[in-house]
């Protein structure tokens, strides 16, 4: 249902100014996503079963995350915005995959996000609708998914997208140029040393790809201190309190400083359980940060209005995934590359078929999580992949996916590999 939840945002003139650049800015952005996981699909199901999704499992996980994270965190953020008189500002990037599931099963969560939009203190970003890797394989499909997501966000939250982020913060110069062509003012990127070199991550940059689009690099250390290390008892920063964390940020104060803290929204209550104290930390955090005399919160498009510290060139791809912060989380082995090439190789056949339901199923199969499950990394990265993997092994994920793709390819009249 279309609403005018963004009226307060459009009336807020601060969005165009970026605030006083003498103030140190903190920019919070949360990725909100749940994949539609696939059912176990053995080879003898090919040609027999057309339902590829684990509907019961997906619903069970969604219900859990709604109860543990989305509803309590949204309620808390709404109260914090009110408590701080609109000085607390933040942003979300919610995938179309999740929006569809929430609208179907949990419309109360959509309503809670709309309440946040109505404060004028929350920005909603755009990305690919299906949280896909389409930019790497099909310009037409990529732009179509972005346009669909942009329209969906406008419909639900009354905001015309001005900030873009790609799946898992994938970024390079060509992507920035494409976003600029689509009239985005800002784009999010990973802020690792391999991307920035000697540059300060706590600055706004202009993309080398042209178009004047601003790049907001993530401060990955400070972001990961919350999302990954908050409850880790062996970590030197444990226990992490809001006051301690704010002191770390306050040390970075200075004119033109923008500290970008980007993380999964599920950090609050799901990845870090309530029992760890994560909600108490969040409740105290805005006040602790704003206690710094020269600190303000800004949204990404407000940050983008600030003067860039220079031009940032990133010719190769980066992301926020794993220690390499590249594309190897999804394309690092032969199984992943084979699955991706087979999937996107069906684009012409799917388009020619002209069947909307088949096209939607093809797009659901693009969700990047399916390929993440096939990753064969070990050590710390492997631990993360295993935590999120519903399959016994990456090889099981690949076999299951390719069985489904075999069936799907037959339905569009193109045998896999032909």
Check whether residue 265 and residue 352 sit in a common domain. no
Residue finishing a domain among 278, 312, 346 = 312
Q: Averaged over 217-234, what is the pLDDT? A: 97
Which pLDDT tens digit goes with each residue over 272-321? 999 999 999 999 999 999 999 899 999 999 999 999 999 999 999 999 99
State the average pLDDT for the chain: 93
Q: What is the pLDDT of residues 82-110, one digit of tens each?
A: 999 999 999 999 999 999 999 999 999 99
The per-residue pLDDT for 417 is 43
End-of-domain residue from the set 285, 312, 339: 312
Does residue 269 sit in the same domain as residue 370?
Answer: no
- pLDDT tier at 10 (50, 70, 90 boundaries)? low
Answer yes or no: do 21 and 128 share one domain.
yes
pLDDT of the residue at 275: 98
Is 284 in the same domain as 339? no
Residue 416 lies in a domain: no
User: What is residue 18's predicted lDDT score, i.e. its pLDDT?
Assistant: 59
Query: pLDDT class for 210, splitting at 50, 70, 90?
Result: confident
> What single string gives the DSSP state of each residue in 201-251?
SSS-EEETTSTT-EEEEE-HHHHHHHHTTTT-TTSTTPSP-HHHHHHHHHT
Asked, for residue 320, whether it belongs to a domain, the answer is: no
List, for residues 109-150, the tens digit of each pLDDT value. 999 999 999 999 999 999 999 999 999 999 999 999 999 999
What average pLDDT does range 73-88 have in this prediction?
A: 98
For residue 48, what pLDDT is reported? Answer: 94
* Per-residue confidence (pLDDT) for residue 2, from 0 to 100: 47
CATH number, domain of 119, equals 3.20.110.20
Average pLDDT over residues 223-229: 96
- On whether both 234 and 170 belong to a single domain, the answer is yes
Domain check: are 230 and 359 in the same one?
Answer: no
112 and 155 inside one domain: yes
Q: How far apart are CA 221 and CA 155, in angstroms?
A: 35
pTM: 0.94
Catalytic amino acids? 168
Given this model, what pLDDT does residue 14 score?
Answer: 45
Residues 160 and 61 in one domain: yes
Residue 392 above 90 pLDDT? yes
Counting residues of the chain whose pLDDT is more than 70, the rounded percentage is 92
324, part of any domain:
no
pLDDT tier at 209, thresholds 50, 70, 90: confident
Q: What is the pLDDT of residue 63?
A: 98
In a domain? residue 417: no
Q: Which domain holds residue 382?
A: 330-411
Number of domains in the chain: 2
Yes or no: say if 306 and 256 are a contact pair by the CB < 8 Å rule.
yes
Q: Determine the pLDDT at residue 16.
A: 45
pLDDT for residue 43 is more than 60: yes
200 and 170 inside one domain: yes
- Residue 242 in domain: yes
Q: 307 lies in a domain? A: yes
Per the domain annotation, does 325 fall within a domain? no
* 118 shares a domain with 188: yes
Q: Do 359 and 210 reside in the same domain of the chain?
A: no
pLDDT, tens digit, for every residue of 403-417? 999 999 999 985 444
pLDDT bracket for residue 387 (50, 70, 90): low
More confident residue, 321 or 26: 26
> What's the average model confidence in pLDDT over 194-201?
90
pLDDT at 380 over 80: no
Give the pLDDT of residue 22: 86
351 neighbors 359 (Cβ within 8 angstroms)? yes
356 shares a domain with 283: no
**pLDDT > 80? residue 81:** yes
Cis peptide leading into residue 239 (ω within 30°): yes
Averaged over 53-63, what is the pLDDT?
97
Q: What DSSP string runs through 154-218?
A: HHHH-----EE--GGG-B-HHHHHHHHHTT-SEEEEE--HHHHTTS-SSS-EEETTSTT-EEEEE
Parallel, antiparallel, or unpaired for β 272-273 and 268-269?
parallel
Q: What is the pLDDT of residues 241-253, one digit of tens each?
A: 999 999 999 999 9
pLDDT-derived band at 418 (thresholds 50, 70, 90) equals very low
Q: List the structure tokens of 309.
A: 């510290």
For residue 2, tell me if it sits in a domain: no
| Predicted local confidence at residue 1, as pLDDT | 44
Sign of CA dihedral 359, 113, 159, 17: negative
Beta partners for residue 269, in sequence order: 273
CA atoms within 13 A on the CB side of 19: 24
């Amino acid at each position: 249902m279309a609403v005018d939840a963004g009226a307060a945002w459009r009336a807020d003139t601060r969005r165009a100014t970026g605030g006083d650049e003498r103030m140190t800015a903190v920019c919070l952005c949360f990725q909100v996503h749940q994949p539609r996981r696939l059912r176990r699909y053995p080879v003898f199901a090919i040609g027999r079963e057309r339902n590829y999704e684990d509907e019961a499992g997906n619903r069970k996980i969604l219900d859990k995350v709604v109860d543990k994270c989305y509803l309590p965190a949204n309620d808390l953020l709404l109260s914090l915005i009110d408590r701080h008189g609109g000085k607390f500002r933040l942003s979300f990037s919610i995938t179309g995959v999740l929006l569809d599931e929430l609208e179907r099963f949990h419309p109360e969560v959509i309503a809670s996000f709309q309440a946040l939009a109505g404060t004028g203190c929350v920005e909603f970003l755009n990305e690919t609708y299906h949280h896909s890797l389409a930019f790497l394989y099909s310009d037409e499909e990529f732009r179509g998914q972005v346009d669909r997501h942009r329209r969906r966000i406008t419909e639900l939250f009354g905001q015309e997208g001005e900030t873009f982020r790609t799946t898992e913060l994938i970024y390079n110069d060509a992507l920035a140029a494409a976003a600029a062509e689509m009239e985005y003012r800002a784009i999010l990127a990973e802020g690792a040393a391999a991307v920035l070199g000697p540059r300060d991550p706590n600055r706004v940059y202009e993309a080398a790809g042209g178009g004047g689009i601003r790049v907001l690099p993530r401060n990955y250390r400070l972001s990961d201190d919350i999302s990954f290390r908050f409850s880790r008892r062996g970590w030197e920063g444990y226990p992490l309190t809001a006051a301690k964390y704010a002191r770390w940020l306050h040390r970075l104060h200075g004119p033109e400083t923008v500290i970008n803290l980007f993380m999964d929204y599920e950090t609050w209550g799901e990845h870090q359980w309530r029992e760890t104290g994560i909600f108490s930390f969040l409740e105290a955090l805005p006040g602790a940060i704003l206690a710094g005399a020269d600190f303000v919160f800004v949204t990404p498009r407000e940050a983008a209005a600030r003067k860039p510290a220079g031009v940032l060139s990133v010719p190769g791809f980066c992301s926020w995934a794993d220690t390499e912060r590249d594309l190897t989380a999804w394309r690092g082995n032969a199984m992943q590359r084979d699955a991706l090439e087979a999937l996107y190789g069906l684009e012409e056949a799917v388009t020619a078929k002209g069947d909307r339901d088949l096209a939607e199923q093809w797009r659901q199969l693009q969700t990047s999580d399916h390929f993440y499950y096939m990753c064969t990394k070990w050590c710390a990265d492997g631990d993360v992949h295993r935590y999120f993997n519903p399959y016994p092994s990456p090889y099981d994920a690949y076999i299951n996916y390719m069985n489904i793709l075999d069936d799907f390819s037959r339905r569009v009249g193109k045998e896999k590999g032909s």
